[in-house]
Copies of this chain bind each other. A is one copy, B any other.
């Protein structure tokens, strides 16, 4: 495998830096705002429905999340939610945007090492500006030969990136925490993948967690890639 691979793709959120815990905290705050109207359980189930409905229109990222929280708040409160609460929901989003980027363990060393020997590409989805902000803050930008902010990470999106960057699927390995977005689509295209799960995963990203596949590796930490590549 080591001799075959020429290009390594790396996911960002919850692979290089903390992300999902901020959304989990945000949902807790949201639930406390909505407590007068509905239980946390029902609220978060309905929020997920709203998000799933809105993602084809809004895409991924914080703004999409905030708009879906506001929409769900209006619906579930039967339009009784007051404007001060709406402002608090807007503030939840702004607070996420203001979080300082927190790198996960070993990320800096592993990327530096990989860049010397492979074409290294950051492949992330979400808000363009927000990902740019996080990449800048992380000081990891120069660790990559190239950065792709993708509107989605389905098979066709990877295929488009491969084509645009002249990447041969059989020479590519993707590293990431999401089976749905980082692993399954690239395996389907004939590439290799290394799944590094994170302790928190958005329900929307959970998919075939126990999949077995000859080109799929699993590790507890991104550091494990050093034993393979």
Q: Give the B-binding residues of A (Cβ under 8 A).
A: 57-59, 63-64, 66-67, 70-71, 73-74, 77, 79-84, 86-87, 90, 93-94, 97, 127-130, 132, 149-152
When the two chains form the complex, which single residue of B63, B70, B151 contacts A90, counting CB atoms closer than 8 Å? Answer: B70
Contact indicator B87/A83 (Cβ below 8 Å): no
Question: Within the assembled complex, what's the spacing in Å between the Cα atoms of A66 and B54?
Answer: 14
Which residue of B63, B79, B81, B129 contacts A67 across the interface (Cβ within 8 Å)? B63
Secondary structure of the A contact surface, majority rule = helix
Count of identical protomers in the assembly: 2
A63 in contact with B71 (CB, 8 Å) = no
Query: Are A83 and B73 within 8 A (Cβ)?
Result: yes
- Given A57-B97, A77-B83, A79-B83, 12 further pairs, Cβ under 8 A: A58-B129, A66-B67, A67-B93, A70-B86, A74-B84, A74-B90, A82-B83, A127-B128, A128-B128, A128-B149, A128-B151, A132-B151
- What residue in chain B is nearest A127 (Cβ atoms)? B59
Shortest CB distance A120–B (Å): 15
Closest to A60 in B: B129
Q: Which of B59, B70, B94 contacts A57 (CB 8 A)?
A: B94
Contact of A71 among B71, B81, B87, B150 (CB under 8 A): B87
What residue in chain B is nearest A61 (Cβ atoms)?
B63
The contact of A81 among B64, B83, B129, by CB within 8 Å, is B83
Given contacts A79-B84, A86-B74, contact A58 B67 (CB under 8 A): no
